[in-house]
Chain A
Amino acid sequence: MRRIGRRAQFFFVLGIVSLALVWPTPPQFRWVAWLCVGLAGLWGVLFSIEDLASPHAGSRLKVPADEAGLFAPPPAPGQQRPS
């Protein structure tokens, strides 16, 4: 099952903390807290979309594909390395 990553969760938590700070902030500065809610929410949503849309979600490759080939185990004796 595809899940959202830690980075998206981190931004959602930041958004929730900022939302909790809207009420205690004096009215003339509340737009600052709302700006934080908006920015954190925007990044949280964008990272969630990336995580859910990625074909490798949940099983990200540790190294790029070309490097995986370069550092693959040596071929068995008598066989050639695939090009």
Chain B
Amino acid sequence: MAFTKFTNLDYDQIKESIKDYLRANSDFTGFDFDGSNFSVLIDTLAYNAYINSVNANMIVNESFLDSAALRRNVVSLAGNIGYLPRSQRSSRAKIKFAVETSANTSTLTLKAGLVCVGTESNSSYVFSIPEPIVATVNEGVAVFGTDNDPITIYQGTYARTSFPVDTSLDQRYIINNPALDYSTLIVRVKDQNDVGLGQEWERVKNIIRIDKFSEVYFIAEVNQENYELLFGDNIFGKALQSGQTIESTYIISDGKAGDGASRFTFSGSLFDDNGLPISPSNIIDVTTLESARNGADIESVESIKYYAPRVYGAQYRAVTGRDYEGIIKQIYPNTESISVVGGEELTPPQFGNVLISIKPVNGVEVSDFDKKTILDGLKQYTIAGINQQIIDLKVLFVEIESAVYYDTTKTTTADTLKTAVVRSLNAYAGSIDINKFGGRFKYSKCQKVIDDTSTAVTSNITKVIIRRNLNVAENQFAQYELCYGNAFHIIPGGGSIKSSGFRISGNSSIVHITDTPNVDANGRIDGSGQGTISFIAENLNSNSGESNYTTIVRNAGIVDYKKGEIQLFTVNIVSTVLENKIIEVQAFPQSNDVIGLKDLYVSFDVSKSPINMVKDTISSGEQISGVDFPVTSSYGNGKLTR
């Protein structure tokens, strides 16, 4: 009998296996001709085997978290290790407002539900609250929220779902609303004769400290991104009884679409002491203390597959760097990437400290409020004696300067091609290769992206520059340190480091940062890998267009080329040429592949990367000999300023 491959998933191979088997049998000889009657039987047999193989393969794939593709299965497998995928999350804004009333009431109640309508980019979003808010009326004015204690409003529509309980049935309590934000979910259980709202039950994530009297419930994501409420069994958690009613209220969110709304119009409902609606006697002016932010869409399948094992591995304890990665994402869903560095790895070491750097999905900074929320949330997971600090994101920008050679016969205009090249680079800049802590800018890949943009691109000469933005403390004596995490290329005459302009006290010129490598007695680079930072002023000759430079401060700092660090000695910077008190300091890296070391976040800044289109005169057929070919240097231009 022929050797049969049981792993075949290809129809033709299965069919071939059957034919191989039949070849050992001399009773039938015409089966391998497609027109034969026997071929019909073989086809049917092979098709059946094929369907079975595919089904078996799919079932096995869907049985493991790594290979499952259907959300339902991924969620179910993640549930087995105690992971609940994040739901859609409402954007939250903080507001305050005052209501004047002539009604004779000691309090005003802002009803749960719609409060405001917020606008963002010509779109309107409703904002609600999940629970009523009561304010005391003083001299006819009720104040809702203050600067220190604002009201949090949630983007989305307030909704309610009720379930009558009948224990004689096999009931499931599924809230059919995939867009609900489960952090706003409130579940109350009302006895048959209760007249009020019912008793609020608490959502729990595990069975620690739960007994048969605990009024708790769990939630689980089920089919179609809906959520199921799971109650106790009188062993772990109190069981439900027939006649009771489950009242669930929640907010249906638009996810991150609601972020950004900053102007709000009041649309809420107010009630007096007796529960009667009242109309305010003033036009309610809503003051925004914090615009809407931190909305998030439902957790993606990829994210569940990535985080579920990590959260399980962390076991609700933040010990290793990976643990933080899983837990912080739970506390602050707006996280795009996290870097956690143990204090012992720092220079000098800071034992007992953990430095956390977070790149939010939108923007680069985490607000002070969010930092506090994250640190508070982390407290329940951390081990004693470890102190977490959330540090601001340090962005290491990568810029390129590229001369793109193109064949004029294959493109309409150079501008069109340039637009296409920039578009390709932007797509590469947005890729996961770069946008993460520990990310890497890959030089060869970048060059390939440019070359592959169009058949009209014949080659490219690309130079890589690394840059950091120095945030200046204006009019203050300060020392500055910039770490790049990548070694600098040493240019013997200096000029590896350049900067945008700024002014220092005691000198009216616009100065720039430059470097000079340390040399030995013979004038050769001494091998220490260090150099001196100087401040220079540029004098531009308007006739020739050439510059010469005057040194303003000769010894303004030091540079460590090997470590990729620049230190400025005490200096009083009074202003910067660029806005936002920023000095852009660039360097040529020793390696064209740039890595994001420790807490550095690599970002490919295409907007500051000049792309020069150069006609490839040889490929275009203008000059076959290449005598006047426009050659581009692969090295720096010799200028000392940025």
Asked if chains A and B come from one complex, the reply is no
Residues of B at the A interface (CB closer than 8 Å) are none
Q: Which residues of A line the B interface, CB within 8 A?
A: none
